[in-house]
Amino acid sequence: MNPETRRRTPLELYRSIWISLEIFRQATAEEITTVTPGASYRAIRAALRRLETHGYVTKQGNRKAVYLKAVKSLYLHGDCERCGASLSATTCDFTNQ
């Protein structure tokens, strides 16, 4: 199977987005989609929402949202460092915010 067309795991997608934001410093979902082969715009948006929920990225603007890294780290772990849940979880139960 061609590696560009195979389906990515959620963790691979999160890490691809993380690397893209490290390189671009700030990017829209469309820009990230163009540099992430095998990922749809819809999948990128969903992953960005999960990373935003867990506090790893921040969103600026509404209509043409620009995403920035909120955590200064080169490596993205599979679990949230604040709540301990998987990054795929839709909520972050970190109570000391």
Q: What is the CATH number of the domain that holds 48?
A: 1.10.10.10
pLDDT of residue 4: 57
Whether 22 is covered by a domain: the verdict is yes
pLDDT classification of 95: cutoffs 50, 70, 90:
low
Q: What share of the chain in percent tops pLDDT 70?
A: 91
Q: What is the pLDDT of residues 46-86, one digit of tens each?
A: 999 999 999 999 999 988 899 999 998 888 888 888 888 88
**pTM, full prediction:** 0.86
Whether 23 is covered by a domain: the verdict is yes
Q: How many domains does the chain have?
A: 1
Whether 74 is covered by a domain: the verdict is no
Q: How far apart are CA 47 and CA 16, in angstroms?
A: 10
| C-beta separation of 81 from 23 below 8 A | no
Residue found under tokens 């921040």: 58
Q: How far apart are CA 91 and CA 44, in angstroms?
A: 18
Q: Could you tell me the two tokens for 9?
A: 């795991």
Whether 86 is covered by a domain: the verdict is no
